[in-house]
Structure 1
Amino acid sequence: MSYEKQTWNKYDELKTEEENIENGAVVTDNRMNHMETGIGDNDANLASHLADKNNPHKVTAAQVGLDKVDNVKQASKVEFDSHINNKSNPHAVTASQVGAYTKAESDSKLTDLSNKVIANKGNLASGTDLDNVIDIGTYRIGGLTGGTDIINVPSERSGTTIYAYLTVSGTTTSVVQELIVYDSKTVSQIYSRSRSGSTPTFSPWSKTVMADDSGKVTVSNTIDSGQVKTATINTGYGRSAVITRIGNTVTITSQNQHSSVPANGSWQRGIGTLPLGFRPVADALIYNHDLSNASKFSWSLFHPNGAIDLFSNGNITTSDYILSSGQFWITKDDFPN
């Protein structure tokens, strides 16, 4: 029920106590109880109102702006967690939608990749002919004798015990073999060869030259098949010589006569010039002598700057046939054009 308000008046000294009570000017137990009851009723009403979840104020969706929001049921936390934990593609997303390969495309890629991987093929058996090892992969040779247990090895490995890995790459019609030989006594050595052509056959083995851990390269039993350049030079007093450069090596030969008589008994400096591309890294001395008279001889001295000096002895004339001993030197010049 609603609270009935009481009226309070000012105490009138001219009136009796009873009259002031009746006039509402005195606090009495009835008036106090009336107030207490009102407060209690108000508390009860407030509690009841707070507990009322049925929109007691009749608030509409428009009044709080919900008329602009779709009235859609939201998932519960249980439903939300269940969706998150669903790993079976609940949205039915396709590979193309995320730019991924399909299973068929992935299988094709993996098959193609497997054809390019160098697989470990294990140990080669005794009696294996390397000409027949053309499947792509890596093979091990474990202590077999070259030329006997393992056929068509590099020639310098015939008759030796071989510990090595053989890598075969390419295709069955165009094959490259690389043989890496190792043991506990020497550094690793690498050989390679290839097989191709309409009737595929292997090329000879070639050996890779390698530096040791200090950067030093040691080469033995070499054949210099580098560029070759030949020139004819004047060695002084009208006598010529032929010089030939192969790689960084220069050789000189001469068998002829002077066109003018050389000065006798003293060094004649700068009487000729050795062209660039043939000059020695250090002085090179050549002995020349008469074909029939050993007392007639001379020395030709070639300097790194290209100057040629001559010392003659025995009064050589223009009729004397002079032979030069074979000589060679090393040059660091750029190769001549």
Structure 2
Amino acid sequence: MIYKDPEVRFNINSQIKRSISTNIQFSTQDIDTAKITFSLTKDGVPLPISQATHGKLFMRFADGSKFYVNTEVHDALGGVIFYVLTPEQITHYGTVQAELYVNYDNGQKLSVHKFSFEIDRALVDQDIVPVAEYYIDDFESLKAVIQEMAYDAEQVLAELQKKFENLDNIETKEGAQEKADAAESDAKAYTDEHAAKTDNPHKVTKDQVGLSNVDNVKQASKSEFDKHNSDNTRHMSAAERMKWNGGQLYKLTDDNGGRTLIPDDTDLLTLPSGLYYGVSNKVVNSPEPKAVEWFHYDVSTNNARKTIVVTATANPRRWFGTIHTDGSFKGWQRFITDADAEVTWESPTLLNGWKQYGTHKVQFSKNALGEVEIIGSITGGTIGFDVPAFTLPAGYRPIQMTHFIGVASSIGAGSAPQFHRTQINTDGKVYIQSCSNATNPNEFITFGFKFKAA
């Protein structure tokens, strides 16, 4: 049989586990070929699957469908089980949330892990809408699903009943229009009657309207007022007012909008807010006082709080510095860039019979944070507390003596994992001190660790 057969490895323990995305993607056209294999371990060794053990898989599909199914055994001693999605299940496209369990006939149960995978809708299935399905193979789970569905139905019925009750209080469109037309007609008749009265029905006096406070002087004519209103020299437009209000209280740049050149021997920390540039070794308190190159400086001062914040840039390097309220300069802090993150790998000279293992070359590097990383594999040399395999150069040596436990060959030692203990001394010497494989101790020694360089 042909399968899409991804493998998922789970270790059963009591540590905090979060649902993992397995990066598994099937298609709605993977009919009887969508197979998931699970490798189970407990305390670092395979979990045996006996006849009294049952692997159970619960799946919740994106459309709400739920399935609780039995898995099948692939390797009982190796703890390997699998499940092949049915043609009906593979039609439920979208993200599938799942959890694996191990049940025993004596009533014990183990929760293994939550995980998720994807089912992609194939182009040929774009018009097919799967029907939500529920398959449960034990009564308690079936009972829970039925109760959940019954509760949802009761909620829908309650909402419909409220809507029907509200319908009794709704007036028809025609009835509401008649009432509105009548109210409009009555209001218009009253307004017309009141407006036609010229006998001052409300008995308003000139004092009430403020005419007694008006000076009897000549006012500007309509033409004079219009001429003044259209005078754009005297008046400011809304756009001009916004530009005025948003203008700088003092100059942050040169008149052309560019950065201001810092005069030689100027203290960077005494400049007002603004954008500047200058040669680093000619500016006092620059982050690199010996650098003969142009730097860009952004200065921001807060006079009320007596603080200064400065950023300095020399592509692609960048620094950040501050003066706090106590008036002391806290020094420059360098930002790490993508260029700083790039490392150079070097290979050491192997000693005492050790050779590179195939294409897994032993290499070391140091990043911008001062962390040394060693990777690769070696074979065939002498193991011992005083027999170095290679020596790291100065600048790549640990602050204090450190140890690393790594993977070793299992040849001649059965299927049990093997390991070695390696010491890295402060003089850079790397010793393969011991190996758990007594039959072939130097067959395969691999590295993959970091430490802080001195």
TM-score by length of 1: 0.37
TM-score by length of 2: 0.29
Bigger radius of gyration:
1
Q: Which has the higher strand share?
A: 2
